[in-house]
Structure 1
């Protein structure tokens, strides 16, 4: 297994890199927490509860995605689930009588669509795009991915939403859809993510995997048989540079 200790040759020939976006390329958790702090302050609520609000939202959103993926909930798009989960989280954390819940949800939803990129993301993706096809593969909607890319300045060769497969990662249909859509073989794809659950599902579909360390996400030394482990995307780009 490759370690993040310098420039190495890839043990497999990849043509394409699939990137998870939320948490891996953009700091969603930090962006939402900061936006929540500002909105709670403007609404006259305790801004110290911003982290609780963000954590509650993540839990509720992931529950909703799982319910849709497993058929326990009718199909709903990611943007709808995001807004609904934010509303529920605000009501739980901010209080039912907040009075400003609806406009606050709209502002937080906008923050999600413009989540700030991690400092190294733009340059690392640009560097990697010179040798590989770089593809965003995210549970976020195509509209959100488009706005995120425009706001961050990150340029992809292709943007794919899990919604195109009418499901959400880690459903195997999402990875298969992405591979088939781009007329690829799974063996030539490297899945890049800061979440072990995403990579483990990708590996079961024949993709190689790269775990990237990000603050607030899974640690880079998390258990698992990953092809690459990198401190950040710049480190991964160094490892994938062919001498």
Structure 2
């Protein structure tokens, strides 16, 4: 197997642990609004469950492209109303800060070192649905170093739309078959492969708190498979 000439990374779930971070932040916010009775982990799961349906409206032409920060805030408001919270009575600044919890996600233990090793081999960029401002703050907080922030906002589309993968590779000056998506999600990798990209699967069994991934039925034999970014770097024979 030839080495990729550049890597594009899914971020949520692959590089950072969204569930633990969102549950922790939501527990604090729920207590502040007097709803500490709600389970913070279930709240995090329900927030994330609104992710694909919200993006589908954009992908299917039901609304113009908006950045993920906008969708995260809308999803949060919808979830709070589902639980009977009078969102209009809340301080708008609190709601915005809560929705920006996605800017403050912690990396998996191997992510910083693994990303640095892979970056020594080839350029590494984000290939995420996260918008640029979100990715910048998240990466600075987590100590993640990228060669560029690309993906959805650059393409004005959300994965798994084909143009997101192809525009990211093109921005790096790399042909699709030399550009590798690194992701913990089989559905993302399947769409990337269909667009002609190389694929690297990173197993993150705790992304959903130990529960089975919703896209497990889309598993294929990916070009590379590893249980961490450092293990992927080792497969590619990148020195420590």
Aligned equivalent of 1:90, options 54, 69, 80: 80
CA contact (8 A) 1:212 1:231 kept: yes
Question: In structure 2, how many angstroms separate the alpha carbons of the residues matched to 1:130 and 1:89?
Answer: 42
TM-aligned CA deviation for residue 104 of structure 1: 4.3
By how many angstroms is 1:95 displaced? Answer: 3.0
Number of aligned pairs?
233
Runs of 4+ in 1 over 6 A off after TM superposition: none
Query: What is the distance in 2 between the residues matched to 1:94 and 1:235?
Result: 45
3-state SS in 2 of match to 1:129: helix
Where does 1:32-111 land on structure 2 (aligned, <5 Å)?
A: 32-93=22-83, 95-96=85-86, 99-100=89-90, 102-111=92-101
Q: Structure 1 residues 97, 178: CA separation in 2 closer, same or farther (over 3 Å shift)?
A: closer
Check whether the contact 1:138–1:160 (CA below 8 A) recurs between aligned residues. yes
The 1-side partners of 2:84 and 2:20 are apart by 19
**1:8 aligned residue:** none
Higher relative contact order (CA 8 A, sep 6+): 1
Quick one: distance in 2 between partners of 1:239 and 1:167?
Answer: 32
2:232 is the counterpart of 1:236: yes
* TM, length-normalised to structure 1: 0.88
Partner of 1:158: 148
Q: Does 1:121 align with 2:111?
A: yes
Cα deviations by residue, 1:96-123 (Å, 9 ceiling, x for unpaired): 4794474542232222112111111111
Q: TM-score, normalised by structure 2?
A: 0.89
What do you get for the CA RMSD once the two structures are aligned? Answer: 2.2
Deviation at 1:72, TM superposition (A): 1.9
**Helix, strand or coil for the counterpart of 2:120?**
coil
1:178 paired residue number: 168
CA drift of 1:50 comes to 1.5
Q: Secondary structure at the match of 1:135?
A: strand
Q: Distance in 2 between matches of 1:97 and 1:66?
A: 24
SS at match of 2:83: helix
Rate the CA distance shift 1:172–1:99 in 2: closer, same or farther, 3 A.
same
Q: For residues 237 and 37 of structure 2, what CA distance do their matches in structure 1 show? A: 44
The Cα shift of 1:203 comes to: 0.3
